[in-house]
Amino acid sequence: MRAVLAIDQGTTGSTALVLDERLAVRGRGDADFAQHFPEPGHVEHEPDDIWRSVLDAVQQALAQAALPMEAIAALGITNQRETAVVWDRTTGTPVHRAIVWQDRRTTDVCARLAAAGHAESVRSRTGLPLDPYFSATKFAWLLDHGGLRARAERGELAGGTIDSFVLHRLTGGAVHATDATNACRTSLCDLATLQWSDELCALFRVPRALLPAIRPNVGTFGHTRGVPGLRDGIPITGMAGDQQAALFGQGCFAPGTAKCTYGTGAFLLRNTGRAPIPSRHGLVTTLAWDLPGERSYALEGSAFVAGACVQWLRDGLGIIDSSAAIEPLARSVPDSGGVMVVPAFTGLGAPHWRPEARGVITGLSRGTTKAHLARAVLEGIALQNVDILQAMERDAGEPLRELRVDGGAAANDLLVQFQADVLGVPIRRPKNLETTALGAAFLAGLGAGVWSSTADLATLWREQARFTPAMPPDQVATWRARWAAAVAKA
């Protein structure tokens, strides 16, 4: 038997899965790490904490799988995108905490670049708006505020997104590379050529010497060396950013297919095929994947806060004891009692792109209870996806036929049914909700010959539940109008 080890390095923790050739999960591990908020709008991670969480998750998964080490045919990596980290090229020691994708500290930098007339040229080259969400301004901030720019220009420092950092550690420091999907989220990569752009590097003041080599999503990135709990020589044959990996893991291989991942944020991607579609409605045009002989692009809309809003109810307000407790609490009332929550805690993402926006709660009364607030949070998570889907349909020129969902909150039936109602499309939920890790496993397995093609992989996808829209159109219109009014106040 051949198995694949998939590492899913996420925003709040790391997951590792050991999957066999029929996609049965033979082992699983999870490990969280601390979030750091040094100032309002600043979000950071300790890179060494991330690495420890990866090791912990991998060791748990392997122990549970109880397979001979020789059975691990390949390793795949997927990761939180846009988060920027810089480390010493020789020692591997991080020079600063990683700046997380949610971080808004470079909002003023992006505003100045936009005021100078660079927004359209950046979008035309990269498919991305000028926003602190993306990595380029984070790299520049790290170099400027750590006194590191001269060292970076001399090639003494290595930088990248988290995939690059994890790959560097897994290979014992031998490899400094990234995959094309992560590169396309930095604002430094030309979307047409999938290469670093000298012009963009100059604009954002990021030395080319800092950046990793860009490689396709399938191929040999390197081999494990000196990793506790792993044998040396395991080929690392697949790598992708988390949302592209989820699209791949959901089997959305055909143009027009789409998925939504409910993680810390909510992320909708729609496969648009071989040609990128420039967005005119506030979305991101991005690479879906770059495989040998097969390149696909996607339209993407990201809501910065989804599951993080549930965490806020748990950790910030103490309304629930666990994330899973939100559904029974929300079901204890028939509706949200007129309460609406816009979860813009770190600004509004697509299609609004308002980094200055902040969360809003409307419709409070003396009769409002914690149950009403819990239900309104779930509704807000779903309603922000309506804006994204409508923009996606306008850009693609045709309606969406169905949506596949994954991520932790996709297990919440109340949320998913309301999502189907306000979107007006059927939703399919797979048996395996770990589609991000599954996508990394798919890519690695293709690279190692465990599976032969995407057609082979499509036969392995299994549906667990289907949710059909049941809300009358006039009621949907009312919800959308109330949402638009609340967003205007954010």
Tell me the DSSP string of 277-300: ---SSS-EEEEEEEETTEEEEEEE
Residue 458 confidence (pLDDT): 85
The fraction of the chain above a pLDDT of 70, given in percent, is 100
Among residues 35, 157, 56, 156, which one has the least CA distance to residue 98? 35
Q: With bands split at pLDDT 50, 70 and 90, how would you rate the model's confidence at 445?
A: very high
Among residues 336, 333, 314, which one has the least CA distance to residue 324? 314
Average pLDDT, the chain: 93
Q: With bands split at pLDDT 50, 70 and 90, how would you rate the model's confidence at 453?
A: confident
Amino acid at residue number 199: E
146, pLDDT greater than 80:
no
Among residues 58, 36, 37, 57, which one has the least CA distance to residue 47? 36
Token pair in block for residue 99: 């700046």
Amino acid at residue number 375: R
350, pLDDT greater than 90:
no
Contacts of 281 (CB under 8 A, 6+ apart): 351, 390, 391, 392, 394, 395
Among residues 424, 361, 403, which one has the least CA distance to residue 267? 403
Token pair in block for residue 490: 């954010």
Report the alpha-carbon distance of residue 144 to residue 138 in Å, rounded.
10
462, pLDDT greater than 90:
no
Q: With bands split at pLDDT 50, 70 and 90, how would you rate the model's confidence at 23?
A: confident
303, pLDDT greater than 80:
yes
CA atoms within 13 A on the CB side of 448: 27
Place of tokens 């049965």: 24
Quick: pLDDT tens for 240-249. 999 999 999 9
264, pLDDT greater than 90:
no
Distance of CA 76 to the CA centre of its chain: 16
Place of tokens 């003494």: 156
Amino acid at residue number 102: Q
CA atoms within 13 A on the CB side of 91: 6
The total of other beta-carbon atoms located within 10 Å of residue 149's CB is 18
CATH of domain 3-243: 3.30.420.40
Tell me the DSSP string of 304-365: S-SHHHHHIIIIIS-S-SSGGGHHHHHHTSSS-TT-EEE--BTBB-TTT-BTT---EEE---
CB-based contact 22:456 (threshold 8 Å): no
Token pair in block for residue 372: 């009403």
CB-based contact 238:77 (threshold 8 Å): yes
Report the alpha-carbon distance of residue 373 to residue 309 in Å, rounded.
11
Report the alpha-carbon distance of residue 246 to residue 442 in Å, rounded.
10
Contacts of 235 (CB under 8 A, 6+ apart): 73, 74, 75, 220, 222, 223, 447, 448
**In the chain, what are the domain boundaries?**
3-243
Note if the pTM is more than 0.75: yes
Q: Is 297 exposed, middle or buried (0-12, 13-18, 19+ CB in 10 A)?
A: buried
CB-based contact 165:177 (threshold 8 Å): no
24, pLDDT greater than 80:
yes
The secondary structure element, H or E, covering residue 378 is: helix 370-396
Q: What is the longest distance spanned by two Cα atoms in the chain? A: 63
The fraction of the chain above a pLDDT of 90, given in percent, is 78
Token pair in block for residue 278: 């420039």
Residue 231, phi then psi, degrees to nearest 5 = -75, 150
Quick: pLDDT tens for 363-418. 999 999 999 999 999 999 999 999 999 999 999 888 888 899 998 889 999 999 99
Q: In what order do the strands lie in the sheet with 84-88?
A: 44-45, 98-99, 84-88, 157-161
Report the alpha-carbon distance of residue 490 to residue 361 in Å, rounded.
9
Strand, helix or coil for residue 273: strand
Residue 194 confidence (pLDDT): 95
Contacts of 245 (CB under 8 A, 6+ apart): 8, 78, 435, 436, 437, 438, 439, 440, 443
Among residues 100, 97, 28, which one has the least CA distance to residue 57? 28
Among residues 351, 360, 379, which one has the least CA distance to residue 490? 360
Q: With bands split at pLDDT 50, 70 and 90, how would you rate the model's confidence at 215?
A: very high
The total of other beta-carbon atoms located within 10 Å of residue 311's CB is 16
